[in-house]
Amino acid sequence: MGTLLGFDYGTAKIGIAVGQTGTGTANPLTTLRAIRQKPDWAAISRLIDEWQPEALVVGLPFDMDDTETEIAPLARRFARQLEGRYRLPVHMADERLTSQVARQELGRRIKNYAELDAIAAKLILETWLSERR
């Protein structure tokens, strides 16, 4: 049973989740704020050291017409940076609608909108895991 970290990349915030290949489940971990419009690499490194993932999964944003969104090239760049920094396999997963589903999961209990990004990362990771079962 291996551990994975999932990322919901954004230019201002990155949601992060942890999942297990054996159970096919994931849990939201945290949302990191960008530092000067760059990922918080120190915080990401701490999470990778703590969780020791075997692979990473980054959400790839698509529109409903199957075209990539404007942020997709930045998400791909982030994935390449993860792979180069941590020498781990990095997979991309369709993240279409994850933010909307995260809002539905939170329902009326939204207190902190940063929570949405971590839940979206959980959904991205669960989508990727379910496609491999």
Hunting for tokens 């920094």 — which residue is that? 85
Residue 100 has pLDDT above 90, yes or no: no
**Cα 64 from Cα 53, distance rounded (Å):** 31
Asked whether residue 97 carries a pLDDT value surpassing 80, the answer given is no
Query: How far is residue 4 from each of residues 8, 17, 74, 107, 132, measured CA to CA in Å?
Result: 13, 8, 21, 27, 13
Which tens digit of pLDDT belongs to each residue from 11-26?
A: 999 999 999 999 999 9
Q: Which two tokens stand for residue 39?
A: 């990922």
Question: How is the beta sheet containing 25-33 ordered, strand by strand?
Answer: 25-33, 13-20, 3-8, 55-60, 90-94
pLDDT above 70 covers a percentage of the chain that reads 85
**pLDDT tens per residue across span 59-80:** 998 777 777 778 899 999 999 9
Biggest CA pair distance of the chain: 40
Give the confidence band of 112 by pLDDT, cuts at 50, 70, 90.
Answer: low
Domains of the chain, with CATH numbers?
3-131 (3.30.420.140)
Model confidence over 36-57: pLDDT tens digits? Answer: 989 999 999 999 999 999 999 9
The answer to whether residue 90 scores a pLDDT higher than 80 is yes
